[in-house]
Structure 1
Amino acid sequence: MSGRTLEAFLDDYSEGGGAVGAHVAETIRLFAEAAVRMRLAINEGALGAAFSAVREAAHAHGDEQKELDVFADDLFLDAARRARVSYYASEELAHPVSVDQSSEIAIAIDPLDGSSNIDTNVSIGTIFSILPSKEDEASTFTQPGNCQLAAGFFIYGPQLALALTLGQGTSVFVYSARLEAFVEAYPKLAIPPDAREFAVNTSNYRHWDEAVRLYIDDCLKGAEGPREKDFNMRWIASLVADTYRILIRGGVFFYPGDGRKGYSAGRLRLVYEANPISMLIEQAGGKATDGTSRVLDKVPTGLHQRSPLAFGSVKEVDKIARYLADPSAIGNRHPLFGNRGLFRS
């Protein structure tokens, strides 16, 4: 543990980042203040008026919207206004909010990831992406993820923590109530290249393509199967929680597209979920793809575009790509040789 505060970390970044770097740093400072307030609201639990109540209407793209989602969106929008970003684009809003069009940076955000877990006391979070501002909102939020200036998420769990990258590695800062500051607990994270743990929602098994089912089947066969090792499975249904675990101890996360209506391109949003998570993972030495192609190279066609997502330990993400790229070869494996094949670990 380095013991360096987030404030000191951002000061160091600002010194070499010029005016844009200073603006990015100030935005993250204001978001950190908002996250502390968010944590206090979450800690109220069912005693808080906005905790688990469900709004009658879903948000713009159909997901159930809870009062705490709206509270989080208002909180971070206020922070973005104080930071004087150009545009604020949120999962909770159909269209970006224009704040200060002369600004050089913009925000894309999922204000409350994992909100289906709100009333079951499971970790939830806030995911954000900081992008260079372009001539208008459309061109700003259709930049590929490799243009991001910074990315991160706050996780409201047993600890309040911030996973952050400014393009120079990924670090985790844990909030100290005693110091009233975020303190760097895990500097320059390095995700192990091999994995023995995968996160996937197996309830969607019947909707998956054959290649996806076969990948999971082979993992579940353990040491006796073609992968020749035992895997553990984890699924929290909170992207920040699954990502935090992988950043700390490795593994792989996989949310493919499937046969359900509206899910052929996956469930997660490219601009404000997949892109910031992918930047964090790559900066920690991991890999992030849509199953076959690098996520950060994808050019968004709209703010709420969905994408499949596979990320984590490099070798396991590559393994997924091999299953998806050549399903015919996988399908031709003879049953007599079910514990051998093209995809041995």
Structure 2
Amino acid sequence: MAEQLRLDSYLDFAAGRSPQMVAVSQTVHAIAAAGRQISRILARGPLAGNLGTIVGESIDGDGQKALDAMTHTIVREALSRAPVSVFASEEADEPEVLDAHAPLAVAIDPLDGSSNIDTLAPVGTIFSILPGGSRVADDPKAPFLQPGRTQLAAGFLIYGPQTALVLTLGAGTRIFTLDPDSGAFIATRGEIQVPRTTREYAINGSNLRHWDPEIRTYIMELKKGHNGPRGEDFNTRWLASMVGDAFRIMVRGGIYLYPADQRKGYRAGRLRLVYEANPIAMIMEQAGAAATDGRDAILDLVPTEIHQRCPLVFGSADEVLRVADAYSHGEASNSPLFKTRSLYRKTTSTIDELA
């Protein structure tokens, strides 16, 4: 192996940058510990009980599964021992104040892809670490209603054939693999750079009839392959697990599209800005990739409520720019995704600054 870098060492080095980074490092340690526990439960599968059983209502209307509730509790308990003032979970209606005097806020999706629990497809834990602010006790939502660019760190754990932690502290993106024997997270490669070009795309093609004409046109161009205007063949890779698709893109490039569409509940997009889009966008940008809602870079959006939804496109920068170009020349649409001619200029500027 070219490199053996332990997460502990990486966080210890980062902690030397500032007192704030000491707190960030301690919080990442806590999340990693929760990830180890979740990984062990998932590895037991049905031996750990019926993890996919519906045990309550969920905010997205799909029902809260047993493992959703279990992972929420595991993460909350881990963060209660970290310097976290307020904790917002995708599984809870409102943020919870843990320690009003602590410096950080954490937004987390404890179990992304819970529909995959019984099928052995990847699931994950997505997190965003933000400055906590000084008035958390008065307004626990306030730390989460700021642009994604204020994030101090972001990452996700993915539980699949191996458990891995994808992490950025705002200075590049790393992948740490869990050694199940020692319990250590270890990086075996340097900083990740997502390839700028790709011939792989991820989108749920079953929703084609609900898409706006612009996005249908873009996808059909890819499907035509070397006989179409792109002159080359593309492959579809769709896992119905955003962490799984994001991890693949981190490793070998690609583009992921979850647009708004005309179905009820999807017209403003489906993924949550605070818990999902912002942390994924920070990870991608720090790895040389890009993320947009179609008009603006995801990290420039200002949330107005903690469970706000948005369209999301991320991945290899050149392909994201092609998407923006295609829709900037399309007809005006009522969809929040790819709506205005200013899109291409805004997205290009943001991505070029990061390149």
**TM-score using structure 2 length:** 0.90
SS in 1 for 2:320: helix
1:278 corresponds in structure 2 to: 281
- 1:104 and 2:103 correspond: yes
How does 1:76-225 map onto structure 2 within 5 Å? 76-134=75-133, 135=135, 136-225=139-228
With 62-71 and 150-159 compared, the bigger mean Cα shift is at 62-71
Give the drift of 1:2. 2.0
SS in 2 for 1:191: coil
Give the drift of 1:46. 1.4
Identify the match of residue 305 of structure 1 among 308, 327, 331. Answer: 308
- 1:72 and 2:75 correspond: no
8 Å Cα contact 2:148-2:279 kept in structure 1: yes
- 1:4 and 2:5 correspond: yes
- 1:258 and 2:261 correspond: yes
Give the drift of 1:50. 4.8
8 Å Cα contact 2:88-2:94 kept in structure 1: yes
Following the alignment from structure 1 to structure 2, what is the Cα–Cα distance between the partners of residues 274 and 177?
A: 29
1:45 corresponds in structure 2 to: 45
Following the alignment from structure 1 to structure 2, what is the Cα–Cα distance between the partners of residues 2 and 29?
A: 21
SS in 1 for 2:54: coil
Per-residue Cα deviation, 1:293-338 (whole angstroms, up to 9, x for no partner) = 1000000011000010110001100111112222139xxxxxxxxx
SS in 1 for 2:188: strand
With 62-71 and 204-213 compared, the bigger mean Cα shift is at 62-71
Give the drift of 1:61. 3.8
The residue type equivalent to 2:234 in the other structure is F
Q: How many residues align?
A: 327
8 Å Cα contact 2:277-2:298 kept in structure 1: yes
Following the alignment from structure 1 to structure 2, what is the Cα–Cα distance between the partners of residues 83 and 186?
A: 28
1:340 corresponds in structure 2 to: none
2:342 corresponds in structure 1 to: none
**TM-score using structure 1 length:** 0.93
8 Å Cα contact 1:114-1:239 kept in structure 2: yes
Following the alignment from structure 2 to structure 1, what is the Cα–Cα distance between the partners of residues 168 and 282?
A: 7
Following the alignment from structure 2 to structure 1, what is the Cα–Cα distance between the partners of residues 203 and 260?
A: 12
8 Å Cα contact 1:169-1:284 kept in structure 2: yes
SS in 2 for 1:258: coil
Per-residue Cα deviation, 1:130-179 (whole angstroms, up to 9, x for no partner) = 00012232221101100000000000011110000000000000011233
SS in 2 for 1:161: strand
Give the drift of 1:15. 1.0
Alpha-carbon RMSD across the aligned residues, in angstroms, is 1.2
Per-residue Cα deviation, 1:174-203 (whole angstroms, up to 9, x for no partner) = 011233200012321111111100000011
8 Å Cα contact 1:290-1:310 kept in structure 2: yes
Which consecutive residues of structure 1, in runs of 5 or more, have no partner in the other structure?
330-345
Following the alignment from structure 1 to structure 2, what is the Cα–Cα distance between the partners of residues 2 and 249?
A: 19
Following the alignment from structure 1 to structure 2, what is the Cα–Cα distance between the partners of residues 50 and 7?
A: 34
Following the alignment from structure 2 to structure 1, what is the Cα–Cα distance between the partners of residues 245 and 24?
A: 26
- 1:63 and 2:66 correspond: no
1:316 corresponds in structure 2 to: 319
Give the drift of 1:62. 1.9
Percent of aligned pairs with the same amino acid: 47
Following the alignment from structure 1 to structure 2, what is the Cα–Cα distance between the partners of residues 93 and 63?
A: 14
8 Å Cα contact 1:5-1:181 kept in structure 2: yes
8 Å Cα contact 2:155-2:279 kept in structure 1: yes
Give the drift of 1:51. 1.5
Following the alignment from structure 1 to structure 2, what is the Cα–Cα distance between the partners of residues 94 and 178?
A: 37
- 1:242 and 2:245 correspond: yes
Give the drift of 1:52. 1.7
2:294 corresponds in structure 1 to: 291
Per-residue Cα deviation, 1:92-123 (whole angstroms, up to 9, x for no partner) = 00000110111111000000000000000111
Following the alignment from structure 1 to structure 2, what is the Cα–Cα distance between the partners of residues 318 and 303?
A: 28
Following the alignment from structure 1 to structure 2, what is the Cα–Cα distance between the partners of residues 164 and 127?
A: 10
